[in-house]
Structure 1
Amino acid sequence: MEQRVTSRSQRTREAILYAARLHFAAEGYQRATIRAIAASASIDPSMVMRYFGSKERLFDAALDVDLGLPDLTGTPVERLPHALVAHFLAPWEQDAAEGSLRLLLRSAATNERAAERLRRVLHEQFTSSLTGALGAERAAAGSGLVAAQLLGVAFARYVLRLQPIAELSVSALADLVAPSMRAALADL
């Protein structure tokens, strides 16, 4: 019985987060309401408060992003750009329903809390991924350069839908981005 309650509770939490991401992405933090989010999740607004306590904490939870970057220890430096592009874009490719990645990217432009979250996520996750291949100091220095390039690609591909970037395969896009990223990493 407890397992059923836990899985139902998890489904409710996920439904709230999904609805919140859609509303925050479409309306922004200020205009999105707990009532609208609850209605989209087909639950009572009090349930949103029960699970998250406040709109602010719901927003924080909606912005919780794992880029899924692997530990790149042992990856030759010349292969790092392809590996990073492929791994960075994979969750975006699967995040078609305006999920947390698009929300975070759009929100960071207008909301300081989201911008700080994005800076922290990018620095921590890229540094962690690159440390085994570049060493801690070079990884920390390079994480911002790599993040800047890949955020530009993500913004052009998934938000602006800029052609031909939006239509290229991830592999073809990696081939285009790799030389500049390789040069940036080599100069660290």
Structure 2
Amino acid sequence: MSDAPPRKSDATKAAILGAAREQFARHGYQGATIRAIAGAAAIDPAMVMRYFGNKEQLFAAAAEFDLQLPDLSALPRAEVGAALVAHFLQRWEADDSLMALLRSAIANEAAAERMRRLFATQVAPAIAGLVDEPRAGVAARAGLVATQMLGLALCRYLLKLPPVVALSRAEAARRIGPTLQAYLFEPR
């Protein structure tokens, strides 16, 4: 492990990614511009292109997201649905990149594909550890979980529906958790 100070290029790249996440989260893929991202990062727009090539490649880098799902198999089965809701809410509120991805996925096919891949590569494997089903069954359960979590995020963070925004995380987990619980464990 090196004790060398971070290179200036690393700091510039990090500033660009931070600005891009904020701009994509606020304006979506269509509304975010390279010029606005560069302005927010306090650099020349040519530097954005130098590091990332184009807007699509910048979006791909900015929309990398790790859900950091807990080991669901370590939880009592009756608590999994509520734990998932609470975890998703915490992740939505902790990182702009998932909001950028959701806002952009509505109008951009590449962003929609990233969202689909997120659920296929992170949520489905976590569910596979809970149920003894073929891949198609696990994928169906992950898709149903996605309907609830993406719908909740849309209503709470983008549409800002007052009754949904007013719910505490604990209340949202208590009320929506049983739906996830059914999607995860009820026979198909």
In the TM superposition, residue 2 of structure 1 has moved relative to its aligned partner by: 7.8
1:156 corresponds to which residue? 155
1:146 corresponds to which residue? 145
2:86 corresponds to which residue? 86
> Match for 2:130: what amino acid?
A
Asked whether the equivalents of residues 71 and 128 of structure 1 are also in contact (C-alpha less than 8 Å), the reply is no
- 2-side partners of 1:165 and 1:93: how far apart? 14
Distance 1:30 1:146, change over 3 A: closer
- Unaligned residue ranges in structure 2 (runs of 5+): none
Root-mean-square deviation (CA), in Å? 2.1
Percent identity between the two aligned chains? 50
> Match for 1:3: what amino acid?
A
- Unaligned residue ranges in structure 1 (runs of 5+): none
- Number of aligned residue pairs: give it: 184
Superposition pairs of residues 16-31 of structure 1, within 5 angstroms: 16-31=16-31
Distance 1:29 1:149, change over 3 A: closer
Asked whether the equivalents of residues 86 and 170 of structure 1 are also in contact (C-alpha less than 8 Å), the reply is yes
> Match for 2:85: what amino acid?
V
TM-score normalized by the length of structure 1: 0.86
Q: Please state whether the residue corresponding to 1:187 is helix, strand or coil.
A: coil
Asked whether the equivalents of residues 19 and 41 of structure 1 are also in contact (C-alpha less than 8 Å), the reply is yes
Distance 1:13 1:71, change over 3 A: same
Asked whether the equivalents of residues 63 and 100 of structure 1 are also in contact (C-alpha less than 8 Å), the reply is yes
Alignment of 1:129 with 2:126, yes or no, is yes
- 2-side partners of 1:66 and 1:163: how far apart? 28
> Match for 2:48: what amino acid?
V
Superposition pairs of residues 1-188 of structure 1, within 5 angstroms: 3-6=4-7, 8-95=8-95, 99-135=96-132, 137=134, 138-185=137-184, 186-188=186-188
TM-score normalized by the length of structure 2: 0.86
